[in-house]
Amino acid sequence: MSNTPRNTSSDPPETDSDQEVQATPSVHPSVYDDLFRKSWFVLWGMVAPVGFLFAAGGYGGIDMWQSGQFGVYCILLYEFAAMIWVYPLIAFSTAGLAYQTFRDREQPVPLWVSIAVLTGAFLWLELYVVWCGGVGYEMEGPATWVFTTLFTCPLVGVIGIQPLIALGVIAKGSQATEDANALKWYTVVLVLSGIGMLVGFFVVLFACAFCAAPLALVTYLYASKEILKSLGARWRVSISTLLLVFTWLSANFAAWRLAVLAAIESYNRLPTEPPSGCFIVTASAHGHRTLVGSQDMGHAFPVTRQLQRLKAAEILLATTLPGTHRGLRKVYDCVGPPLARMICNRWLADLSYLMLKPLEWAMLGLLRVARVPSNTITAVYRSSHCK
């Protein structure tokens, strides 16, 4: 009788190819949850809020005036001159969130991290309210911020972090390999992809500005929930805790008081009359005088030859084709103010002026065909406002 062992299993023997398949590194399902959390915290709790505040700080509108509306004050509160007092608190909360994102959650939470994350939750609740006021003013009603908060933000938030999660999965897979060259190339790809995403984010900054404030609030609320859950029974109300709360409330109140005073100063510098209806062209007139040739004619805005010609063409269209003019004017009144508010410095005004040149020349040709005298064109804005 032979003593050779027999294979009593019904499974076929493993081959070299099967062993290679089993050796292929895989990412455990729980890794995705960890990457989702970290990617969300990094993008929507640290990167996006900084970009949003940077964009909002220079957003101040050319066409705003002293209307007394709450939304005007909200927009001015986001300007650099006002937010400079709140930035230190935001930086403190961002540092705490960064620590909370990558810390070992088996260890106790440092006190400063708890204070920083809870500070961020309160700050972004306040900033969210201000954001709602500004968006409600810009879009003439609360429908935009309500729709953005409830429907757009969840979609943008989840889709926006998927590239970061994919890169994290690649990194986890590279750590499981023993090939040093593969790990080196994984690192190169990660660095280049990270730089590309950061550059791309700032390029599309204005597109995602509508979602940054609500998503930052959600991020800090979730991080605060983690902090409070980790404290659990260890949470004790003591004299030192009460003193810290009082100190935080005082710092928060002082920062917002100074921010509101700065916003009021900016409000007092706004025109006392409603802006002209020639939004983009009027904004272009704020460029360098040597290029745009602007003149001061006693209005709340400078006047250029381009503005005179385009306004004269509009008057001609309103006179000859009133129905067409009303339709075009309605569209322009919707898209003009947001575009004009993006022209927030002289260089952008110069660029806008040059981009409007082909339209100006076309309208000048139309005025010549209609035999409108040159002195009639140059008389525009000399005796009346743009209405």
In three-state form (DSSP H/G/I as H, E/B as E, the rest C), the secondary structure along 6-34 is: CCCCCCCCCCHHHHHHHHCCCCCHHHHHH
For the whole prediction, is pTM greater than 0.75? Answer: no
* CA nearest neighbour of 52 among 18, 78, 28: 78
Answer whether residue 287 shows pLDDT above 80.
no
pLDDT tens-digit profile of 143-182? Answer: 777 877 888 788 878 877 877 777 777 766 655 555 556 5
pLDDT tens-digit profile of 200-224? Answer: 555 455 456 678 899 999 999 999 9
For residue 328, what pLDDT is reported? 79
φ and ψ of 126, to 5 deg: -65, -45
**How many CB atoms lie under 10 A from the CB of residue 64?**
22
Lowest mean pLDDT among 176-180, 228-232, 233-237, 326-330: 176-180
DSSP reduced 3-state for 64? coil
**How many CB atoms lie under 10 A from the CB of residue 359?**
14
φ and ψ of 303, to 5 deg: -120, 135
- Which residues are CB-contacts of 132 (< 8 A; sequence separation ≥ 6)? 74, 142, 145
For residue 210, what pLDDT is reported? 77
pLDDT tens-digit profile of 338-387? Answer: 667 666 667 777 787 788 788 878 887 788 777 777 777 766 665 444 44
Spatial contact of 248 and 112, defined as CB atoms under 8 Å apart = no
- CA distances, 361 to each of 52, 157, 172, 365 (Å): 37, 44, 59, 6
